[in-house]
Amino acid sequence: MPALKGRAGCESGISPEFHAFSRVFQFMKDPYRAAVLLKECGYDGVEWTVRPGGFLDPSKASASEFLKLQDAARKAGIKAENVVVSFLRGDDPGAERLVMSAKEAGFKSFRVAYFKYDRSKPYKENMDAFRQGFDTLDALARKSGLKACYQNHSTYAKDAPLLGSLVWDLANVVASYDPRYIGIQYDPMHARAECGPSWDHSLGAIAPWIDIVCLKDFHYILDPANPKDWKRKLVPAGTGIVDYAEVRRLMSLEGVAPRFTVHYDYPFPTDEAGARACAATDLRHYRLFWP
């Protein structure tokens, strides 16, 4: 496989960083215990959830509470740079307070929720609404100094299609924004699930905005509700159909060198021994492509 440039490759002598999306570890409740588990598995960092049911509830998201998350990661020997939030727009109630508190605690970026198409409106009106939403995120990012990130995600409900499912629509929206303030968490699994064999065209379209690459795997199964249709099934790393050798090749071609965040959207154990085994196994698989 070709060597990558920058943070994610070996050509520069800089090892890639693998962080963990912390959602499935919320059963542990204690962020320090979760961080220690991830350190033991070989992770470089953690992406904390700051949303209802997460490691930090948004209503309590003061700078001192964010510092507790930073301290938990630091004491365990890993990084904490990004938080995942429940708000969508930069002018949503509480959004500025939360982001400014995260900035004070030393975080660098935040990932927001998902914009949904209004199926009663034509395409142009939807795109205009999405851009208005991104305008508010851009303003908050510029004010706070934290990058606002959006993840491409395959549509999980046909009555609520998401911006970014196709990736091309997201590329259309972010094209006018400075990548220093607006970023994308690029998810090859969701691109493959939504776009099929043509998923690979989309990475280049958003390459300048890719801040993080989300790692997970899936394959298709027949939809029990309609045996003539298919649905996606999330599975452990390496047991699905996402072509990570091709992801690596395309990242090298486009000069993309982000950090990685491992996601675990398959049925994940809710005991520490099981969680440790799954998290470590997934990480070993992804390190085969980015050693």
| 3-state DSSP assignment of residue 157 | coil
Fold of the domain spanning 6-287: TIM Barrel (3.20.20)
The pLDDT value given to residue 14: 63
Section 252-262 average pLDDT? 96
Least confident interval from 88-92, 154-158, 170-174, 206-210:
154-158
- Give residue-wise pLDDT tens across range 39-49: 999 999 999 99
The pLDDT value given to residue 12: 43
Structure tokens at 176: 């006018």
Reference 38, options 278, 279, 215; nearest CA is 279
What is the rounded distance in angstroms from the CA atom of residue 174 to the CA atom of residue 146? 17
- Tell me which amino acid residue 5 is: K
| 3-state DSSP assignment of residue 279 | helix
pLDDT band at residue 157, thresholds of 50, 70 and 90? Answer: confident
- For the cut 80, the answer to whether the pLDDT of residue 13 exceeds it is no
| 3-state DSSP assignment of residue 192 | helix
Section 30-36 average pLDDT? 98
- For the cut 80, the answer to whether the pLDDT of residue 4 exceeds it is no
pLDDT band at residue 95, thresholds of 50, 70 and 90? Answer: very high
What is the rounded distance in angstroms from the CA atom of residue 97 to the CA atom of residue 113? 17
Is the Cβ–Cβ distance between 250 and 203 less than 8 Å?
Answer: yes
Is the Cβ–Cβ distance between 36 and 76 less than 8 Å?
Answer: yes
In 159-193, which positions are buried (b, 16+ CB within 10 angstroms) versus exposed (e)?
A: eebbbbbbbebbbbbbeebeeebbbbbbbbbbbbb
Adjacent-strand bridge partners of 49? 84
- Give residue-wise pLDDT tens across range 60-86: 999 999 999 999 999 999 999 999 999
Reference 95, options 128, 130, 55, 50; nearest CA is 50
Reference 157, options 168, 165, 147; nearest CA is 165
